[in-house]
Amino acid sequence: MAHAHSKYTDFEGLREQAVTLRRAGLSRRQIRDRLHVDNNDILNRLLEGEPPPEWTKRPNAKDDLRARARELRLQGWTYDQIQVELGCSKSSISLWVRDLPRPERRDPSEQAKLAARKRWEHELAVRDEKREQTKAIAQQEIGSLTERELFLLGVGLYWAEGAKDKEYSRREFVLFVNSDPGMIKVFLAWLDLLQVERERLRFRVMIHESADVGGAEQYWAALVGTDTSRFGKTTLKKHNPKTVRKNVGDQYRGCLVISVVQSADLYRRIEGWWNGIVLGSPPSSGKV
């Protein structure tokens, strides 16, 4: 066989031999030894575009990582960046992607920014996971409410969010406005506990005129278990072009207004219940 320098000079002829051996099922090491090619860069060029034989692809738990590493390498990622993303060793990454072209060198400041962004994204993911875990644990701590717990909760909920009577404006009627579906569900459960007939309830929507009014009406009707024919006329809020609204998007459905007809007596009892809660609460110790 010709000397190595002459082989490298006749690159196309050497490539033809390498491709023939590759297609015959030989591994990179076997081809390297057979053709006496000790330069990995040249070997990569000789075998460029030729997939490895199936027998060299040993199935293992890292197959998905290997595929992802190759995908990232083709996108121009460095070994360090792939290691941060996948959490595997550089030696493994090197084995998986060494036949792929090297990415172009980036400006050091750009690399630092990319690494910082990946670390921050990882930190955000960890925070989100902890946040959801805390919420799930707290939810389990509540469990099922007793009737008394629901009763007291409803009184506090109404006094925080419902319409209230003032000396300068008599409003002895029950009216509740909220944009939170959970609040609406709890309020309706509380009215059921108080044996307020659903026939006494009136509904209407308050929403910005630029929103999906029809979609919001359908949403709230489905939530309270009725149809839009039982809804009063929707109140449309005029849009002020000088303000920047943040309550936009598919999740914005305005507020639902629930009123109870002939509810003066109920309102007076609610106010009395709230006063009873205030008086029945233990005095503050003054300690934080």
What is the DSSP secondary-structure string of 141-154? HH-SPPHHHHHHHH
End-to-end distance of the chain based on CA atoms, in angstroms?
89
Q: What is the pLDDT of residue 246?
A: 65
pLDDT-derived band at 3, boundaries 50, 70, 90: very low
Question: What is the average pLDDT across 70-91?
Answer: 84
Q: What percent of the chain has pLDDT over 90?
A: 40
Tally Cβ neighbours within 10 Å of residue 13: 12
Average pLDDT rounded to a whole number, residues 184-204: 96
pLDDT at 2 over 60: no
Q: Pick the closest to residue 149 from 184, 189, 180, 197 (CA basis).
A: 189
Q: How many CB atoms lie within 10 A of CB 59?
A: 6
Confidence of residue 5 (pLDDT cuts 50, 70, 90): very low
The predicted model gives 169-198 an average pLDDT of 94
Residue 70 has pLDDT above 60, yes or no: yes
Higher pLDDT, 224 or 165: 224
Task: Residue 43: name the closest of 18, 23, 74, 26 by CA.
Answer: 18
Q: pLDDT at position 184, please?
A: 96
Average pLDDT, the chain: 85
Q: What are the pLDDT digits (tens) for 81-108?
A: 888 788 788 888 889 988 988 877 666 6
